[in-house]
């Protein structure tokens, strides 16, 4: 290890890949440093202490150090394995989508405590049956867009800047609602119920979503908006979206 400095961070395993004969590359979304990639020696061995620590979705406290190109995992302890999410197809697909979304949206070693907190909170809530899975994911999408520079403005017209209480149109180029007087272009029509629900999801903490009960039409409207923004602003489209659509059919 040489003179490398050890550090501890909480993190979620968002992706893994086999590396050499017995090792793994593990992508962690960490509390302190954002997304990092670590090599985990011997993680593929059935008796390895790292086997359970590097399963997808595992949330733990990890001791590691930074090498020349990659981090190396030294120790760890599980805070929540979230392996219950793997036993339910809907939960598995939604949680896989969340991991893929974080991987796509976040740059390496760019920390954001808000993304980390909301990501972990969403996984905890998804692991229960307390909330609508779909609304949870929509809320996380909206907050992730905001934290990565694509905030949706729903309080003033995105064309002229005038304050608005609600709208029936969202300009997808300007990331916001449009007042009655401005032209409706480069966007999509949305019901006022959908617009207000979108604002609620944007402003309300994820843990408070139990207060919201939406019908399928409004949920579809919100999904249309978030899917467009995600597909058009990140480097690639999450593949899990297709599986999500399949589940709902």
Q: What is the CATH number of the domain that holds 44?
A: 2.40.50.140
Residues 119 and 99 in one domain: yes
Question: What is the rounded distance in angstroms from the CA atom of residue 222 to the CA atom of residue 20?
Answer: 43
Task: Give yes or no: residues 65 and 94 share one domain.
Answer: no
Clarify whether residues 150 and 163 are in a common domain.
yes
CATH number (domain holding residue 232): 1.20.1440.120
Domain that holds residue 66: 5-81
Instruction: Answer for the pair 166, 154: CB distance below 8 angstroms, yes or no.
Output: no
Query: What pLDDT score does 116 carry?
Result: 98
- Same domain for 198 and 124, yes or no, is yes
pLDDT in tens, the chain (249 residues): 445 789 999 999 999 999 988 899 999 999 999 999 999 998 888 788 899 999 999 999 999 999 888 999 999 999 999 988 988 888 889 999 999 999 999 999 999 999 999 999 999 999 987 788 899 999 999 999 999 999 999 999 999 999 999 999 999 999 999 999 999 999 999 999 999 999 999 999 998 888 788 999 999 999 999 999 999 999 888 887 777 777 666
Q: Name the domain boundary from 81, 106, 132.
A: 81
Please state at what angle helix 240-248 crosses helix 89-105, rounded to 10 degrees: 150
User: Based on the domain organization, do 19 and 73 belong to the same domain?
Assistant: yes
Q: Same domain for 162 and 71? A: no
The number of domains in the chain is: 2
pLDDT of residue 235: 87
pLDDT at 248: 67
d(CA 137, CA 219): 11
- Angle, nearest 10°, between helix axes 113-126 and 133-147? 170
Q: Please indicate, yes or no, whether residues 137 and 170 belong to a single structural domain of this protein.
A: yes
């Amino acid at each position: 290890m040489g003179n490398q400095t050890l550090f501890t961070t909480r993190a979620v395993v968002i992706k893994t890949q086999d590396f050499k004969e017995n090792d793994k590359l593990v992508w962690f979304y960490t509390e302190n440093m954002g997304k990092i990639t670590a090599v985990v020696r011997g993680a593929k061995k059935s008796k390895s202490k790292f086997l359970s620590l590097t399963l997808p979705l595992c949330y733990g406290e990890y001791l590691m150090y930074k090498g020349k190109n990659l981090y190396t995992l030294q120790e760890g302890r599980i805070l929540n394995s979230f392996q219950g999410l793997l036993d339910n197809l809907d939960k598995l697909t939604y949680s896989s989508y969340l991991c893929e979304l974080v991987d796509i949206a976040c740059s390496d070693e760019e920390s954001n405590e808000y993304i980390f907190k909301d990501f972990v909170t969403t996984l905890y809530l998804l692991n229960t049956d307390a909330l609508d899975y779909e609304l949870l994911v929509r809320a996380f999408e909206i907050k992730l867009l905001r934290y990565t520079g694509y905030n949706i403005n729903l309080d003033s017209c995105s064309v002229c800047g005038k304050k608005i209480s609600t709208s029936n149109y969202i300009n997808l180029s300007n990331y916001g609602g449009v007042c009655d007087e401005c032209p409706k272009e480069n966007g999509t029509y949305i019901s006022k119920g959908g617009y207000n629900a979108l604002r609620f999801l944007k402003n309300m903490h994820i843990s408070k979503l139990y207060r919201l009960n939406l019908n399928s039409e409004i949920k579809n409207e919100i999904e249309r908006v978030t899917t467009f923004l995600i597909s058009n602003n990140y480097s690639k489209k999450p593949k899990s979206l297709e599986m999500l659509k399949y589940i709902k059919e």
